[in-house]
Structures are given as structure tokens and as C-alpha cells.
């Protein structure tokens, strides 16, 4: 049994109310429940942290070193400019998934660049709430290899 850390970046605490036409109507609690259920069904544990602060997310990535087997992170807008989050992920050795509800490449040009993608195992984007299940399944598959 492994521990998977799910990290949610800025503004994701507003899911359900925030631009539902872009992000859907599921709340963050709904998404965490889907991810937790999927992890448990695959024999793993899931921890979740949401923060609107870059440093708190970096601290959580550091604290996962040697403790969590995988990190699934939706960095929100930090995806596009927070190099320190990319550096923290680069220093983390486990499985890493960058996750987005929307497909940033189909949106405004400033969302097309990710400073996180080059540090992760893979990226899941554009599948809405379903992406949370896909991300946990992808982690579990990788851990089983």
C-alpha cells in the first residue's frame, strides 16, 4: 500500500462556483472523493492539500519526499509561471502527474506554457472531473509495474 499525495493549487477551493462552464459543477470535495475512492479500490491511501500559496505547495512536495510514492498536482495558474514548484517536483523522485480539469492548450495563449510539465511523469488535461480518476489509475498502474 502506497500513499498518493493530491495537491490542488490556487482558486481550486472555489470549484463548483468558479466558471462552471470551464471547470464543471463538481466541488473540490467531490473530486477528492473520486480520487480517494479510486486510490482505495487500487489498495492505496490518498492525502489531499489545497493551498492558494505557492510556498505551502512547495513545502508539501518537500514533505512528500521519501514518504509518498506519487504526487498528483493541479497547480492551477501556478502551472504557467511558478518555476519554484517545477524545481520542487524535479527534486521529488516518485511518480508525478500534472492534472488539469480543462485543456489549457485549447484556451488563452498564456495558458499554453507549463513550467511543470518537463518535471513530471505525465500530464492529464481536459477530462474534467474524470481526470481525477484517470490520474489515480495511471499512478496505480505505474506503481504496479
CA neighbours closer than 13 Å in the CB half-sphere of residue 77: 7
138: cell is 495511471
Q: Which residues of 48-74 are buried (b: 16+ CB within 10 A; e: fewer)?
A: bbbbeebeebbebbeebeeebbbbbbb
Number of residues near ligand DQA (by CB under 6 A): 10
Task: Pick the catalytic residue from 44, 53, 80, 100.
Answer: 100
Q: Is 106 in the site for ligand DQA (CB under 6 A)?
A: no
Nearest distance from C-beta of residue 27 to ligand DQA, angstroms: 14
CA angle (28 as vertex; 22, 32 as ends), nearest 5: 125
Residue 23 annotated to the active site: yes
In whole angstroms, what is the distance from residue 29 CA to residue 93 CA?
28
Residue 132 annotated to the active site: no
Q: Which of residues 39-98 bind ligand DQA (CB under 6 A)?
A: 74, 76-77, 79
Query: Which one, 9 or 94, has the nearer CB to ligand DQA?
Result: 9
Query: Which one, 46 or 125, has the nearer CB to ligand DQA?
Result: 125
- The catalytic site residues sit at 23, 100
Residues engaged in binding ligand DQA (CB under 6 A):
11, 74, 76-77, 79, 100-102, 104, 111
Amino acid at each position: 500500500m502506497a500513499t498518493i499525495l493530491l495537491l490542488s493549487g490556487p482558486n481550486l477551493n472555489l470549484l463548483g462556483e468558479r466558471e462552471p462552464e470551464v471547470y464543471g459543477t463538481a466541488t473540490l470535495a467531490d473530486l477528492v472523493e473520486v480520487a480517494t475512492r479510486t486510490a482505495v479500490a487500487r489498495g492505496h491511501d490518498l492525502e489531499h492539500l489545497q493551498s492558494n500559496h505557492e510556498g505551502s505547495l512547495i513545502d508539501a512536495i518537500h514533505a512528500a519526499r521519501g514518504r509518498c510514492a506519487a504526487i498528483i498536482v493541479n497547480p492551477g495558474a501556478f502551472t504557467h509561471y511558478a518555476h519554484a514548484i517545477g524545481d520542487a517536483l524535479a527534486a521529488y523522485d516518485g511518480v508525478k502527474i500534472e492534472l488539469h480539469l480543462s485543456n489549457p492548450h485549447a484556451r488563452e495563449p498564456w495558458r499554453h506554457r507549463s513550467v511543470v510539465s518537463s518535471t513530471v511523469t505525465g500530464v492529464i488535461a481536459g477530462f474534467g472531473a474524470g481526470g481525477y480518476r484517470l490520474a489515480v489509475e495511471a499512478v496505480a498502474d505505474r506503481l504496479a509495474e
